[in-house]
Structure formats: C-alpha cells, structure tokens
Amino acid sequence: GNGLHQLNYPTDVLIDKETDSLIICDRNNQRVVRWSRRSGTTQGEILINNINCYGLTMDDQRYLYVCDYEKHEVRRYQLGEKNGTLVAGGNGQGYGLNQLNKPHYLFVDGQQNVYVSDNFNHRVMKWDKDATEGIVIAGGQGAGSALTQLSYPDGLFVDTLGTLYVADSWNHRVMRWTQGDNKQGT
C-alpha cells in the first residue's frame, strides 16, 4: 500500500546507526522513508518523495546516495535535503561515460567515489568525487557470460583493497575484479 505504515516493493534498506532507524527505498511508492527501529513504531517518515529509487547507501559523513532508475542518475543528499546533488549520470538514458541506463545498486568508498551497477548497460561504473564522467571498471562488453561480461548486474561491494564484488544476476554468479584486472573478472 501507499500509507506511511506500508511499503510497496521495497528494493533496498540500510541502518542509520546515529538515529537507530531503517532507511528504505520504497520503490513503487516512489519515495525513500525512514522507520525507527524502536519498538512501538507504526509508521515511517518520508525523507525523499517523487523518486524512482532502486538502491541506496550512506557514507561515513552520513550523506545518503540514491539511484533513480528512471532519471538514470545517482544523487547525494544531506538528511533533510529534498533535491540532492547529482554525482553520477543525469544526462539521459544511454551508454556514454556520462550516462547510465537503469542504475540499480551502488557503493560509496571512503573518498566518496561512487560505484554503480549500470544494470541495462551490463557494466559497473566508477564515478570519482566531483567527476562529470565515470569509468567502466567491470563489464561493458554487452550482456554475456564471458569473464569480461556481465548480464544485468545488481548488488556490489568494494573492499578496502579496491576489489570489486558484483552480483551478476542473469548469469547466476558473483564476479570479483581486483584492481588492474583489465575488466576481466574471476
């Protein structure tokens, strides 16, 4: 449903430790909501409205990053902010290095670099902080099952050594790319 006590096709969740709350991408209600983890909570509060959210994450400075899969972009928000700052994509749907095509999930490292699973482009993009273009760090060779390819990538994680792990959903596998792999996974 669409009430503040309901969710409709939630696609991602994180815990905000400072407020002891869940922040949820409530996809089909086109909103990001916060729910307290304290007992007795019966409804959430809207943090961001009118957004086709899919994935979200929070960095060490408590900035919230959200993928908008219809605007083909990622925005960074200070909690309480409604418009956010564009950090990836935002130049329409496409395959260019300044574009995304249905971004799903993301990861932000300690330097505020943004990693995005660019789902319909079958690639993972890295956008350095304040960059206007990203770089392809995995896939990008069209959909497929070769070690250089992904097929509708979803969840991703980058460890402290810079190793990228990607849920390669349509290939039913998790791929690993270490730095310097020339876009070939293992």
Q: What are 13-65's pLDDT values in tens digits?
A: 999 999 999 999 999 999 999 999 887 778 889 999 999 999 999 999 999 99
Is 47 among the domain residues? yes
Q: Is the pTM of this model over 0.85?
A: yes
Is 94 among the domain residues? yes
| Confidence (pLDDT) at 46 | 95
Is 3 among the domain residues? no
Residue-wise pLDDT for 106-148, tens only, equals 999 999 999 999 999 999 999 999 999 999 999 999 999 999 9
Domain that holds residue 85: 10-177
Is 133 among the domain residues? yes
Q: What is the CATH number of the domain that holds 64?
A: 2.120.10.30
Please state the domain count of the chain.
Answer: 1
Q: Is the pLDDT of residue 180 over 90?
A: no
What is the C-alpha R_g of the chain?
16
Is 96 among the domain residues? yes
